[in-house]
Amino acid sequence: MRHEIARRSGVGFELREGQTLTVYDPRGEQVADLLAYNRADIREVISSGRTLDYASKLFIGVGDPLYSNRSNVMLDIVSDSVGRHDFLLTPCSKDTFRIIYGDDAPHHGCFGNLERALAPWGVEPDMIPTAFNCFMNVSVDFETGALSVDPPRSKAGDHIAFVARMDLIIGLTACSALQSNNGSFKPIEYEISG
Amino acid sequence: MRHEIARRSGVGFELREGQTLTVYDPRGEQVADLLAYNRADIREVISSGRTLDYASKLFIGVGDPLYSNRSNVMLDIVSDSVGRHDFLLTPCSKDTFRIIYGDDAPHHGCFGNLERALAPWGVEPDMIPTAFNCFMNVSVDFETGALSVDPPRSKAGDHIAFVARMDLIIGLTACSALQSNNGSFKPIEYEISG
């Protein structure tokens, strides 16, 4: 059964060890920020730095484990119809919109949505790290290191699927930043199986 | 007055708002992992994801602010004789040496050194994020995203200097990973002024 995450919103849910989480982009060119916490101890959380270090690459895909800050495998990517996701940039937030977009009355962003969605499990804002950004398309200039946030490569119906390697609390959003999703806000869908 | 950080070790100290921290590579091709916490509330910590996002580039240098997880500026880079540092990879640790190097009896690494150095201020291991890795030379393949850890570009006597924008607790190491420093462990030096 597929669930919808409405535009510019987010959800929190539990995922048991062995279960599969599939994230769908129902309309194409949308981004979903994904966070994972150890259900038994929320101080253990998904880690971009450890994952990129152990994979020795920036673009994470099928076969790559997503590690925690304690170097345990939290999730494995088992299926992916897109092939480009981001694990560099933090969830968009009031500060993102203020600093990058210059907004006077900024939206609370994925950060605010994750904060609200994860509060029932005791996750505090300071415990929200860099998320795994499904479908987000960030390129790097080899010489200068300049980052460009390009339109996602995902087309309507594309997906990425993860298997949980421990009991997890998941935070998942339909991204709120215009730059990430080529200028329009769209929903995200997800399914839990197993 | 310059202080030495012995090979494969680390230190913790306080840096007041407005003070300058200069990190020297006295022998060349050595790496120093730098962490910063808000002295008034250690839950506020240096953030790779926010810094790279707001700078829109991977290679951070003179003029770039180092942001916290609360999007406040913690440090500004004011001087740099090298021009290439890393803000992607986590401090080397027992797990790094086990997973990447295949060591049976792994060294505790920069992570262990930072853990010990920062414990007096109440910093717990789970609160250690991706560090700003002074002089670390990580390249990215534009197409594949492959990361390569190359010898630092720093020569004997090179430095990078930071000005504190709030009262901080600093963790700083002389790196323990062979790959980062071209195969030999060397000391790091630092100086506080202002």
Report whether A75 contacts A134 (CB < 8 A): no
The reply to whether B122 falls in a domain is: yes
Q: In the structure encoding, which two tokens stand for residue A48, read together?
A: 């971009």
| Mean predicted confidence (pLDDT) in B98-102 | 86
| Mean predicted confidence (pLDDT) in A88-95 | 92
Q: How many helices (H) and strands (E) does chain B have?
A: 3, 13
CA distance B68 to B43: 10
For residue A1, with 0-12 CB atoms within 10 Å meaning exposed, 13-18 middle and 19 or more buried, which class applies? exposed
The reply to whether B192 falls in a domain is: no
Q: Which of A43, A51, A85, A90 is the mutation pick for testing B, counting most B CBs within 10 A?
A: A90
Angle formed at CA A35 by CA A32 and CA A36, multiple of 5 degrees: 140
Residue B147 has its nearest CB partner, among A44, A57, A148, at A57
Backbone CA torsion sign across B72, B168, B33, B44: negative
Cβ distance B58 to A129 less than 8 Å, yes or no, reads: no
pLDDT at B181 over 90: no
Quote the minimal CA–CA distance from B2 to chain A in Å: 31
Q: In the structure encoding, which two tokens stand for residue A19, read together?
A: 């279960």
The gap between the terminal CA atoms of chain B, to the nearest Å, is: 12
The reply to whether B165 falls in a domain is: yes
pLDDT in tens, B59-79: 999 999 999 999 999 999 999
Domain of residue B140 covers: 2-182
Would the ipTM clear 0.85, i.e. be above it?
yes
Q: In the structure encoding, which two tokens stand for residue B35, read together?
A: 């962490």
Residue A147 has its nearest CB partner, among B52, B70, B147, at B52
User: Chain A within 8 Å of B38 (Cβ-Cβ)?
Assistant: no
CA distance B46 to B43: 10
SS3 A51: helix
The reply to whether B189 falls in a domain is: no
Report whether B72 contacts B152 (CB < 8 A): no
CA distance B7 to B27: 11
Give, as one character, the DSSP assignment of residue A130.
Answer: P
CA distance A89 to A126: 16
pLDDT in tens, A115-145: 999 999 999 999 999 999 999 999 998 888 9
Give the relative orientation of helices B48-55 and A48-55 as an angle to the nearest 10 degrees.
Answer: 80
Percent of chain B past pLDDT 90, that is, above it, reads 84
pLDDT at A182 over 90: no
The reply to whether B83 falls in a domain is: yes
Give, as one character, the DSSP assignment of residue B127.
Answer: G
The reply to whether B105 falls in a domain is: yes
Domain count, chain B: 1
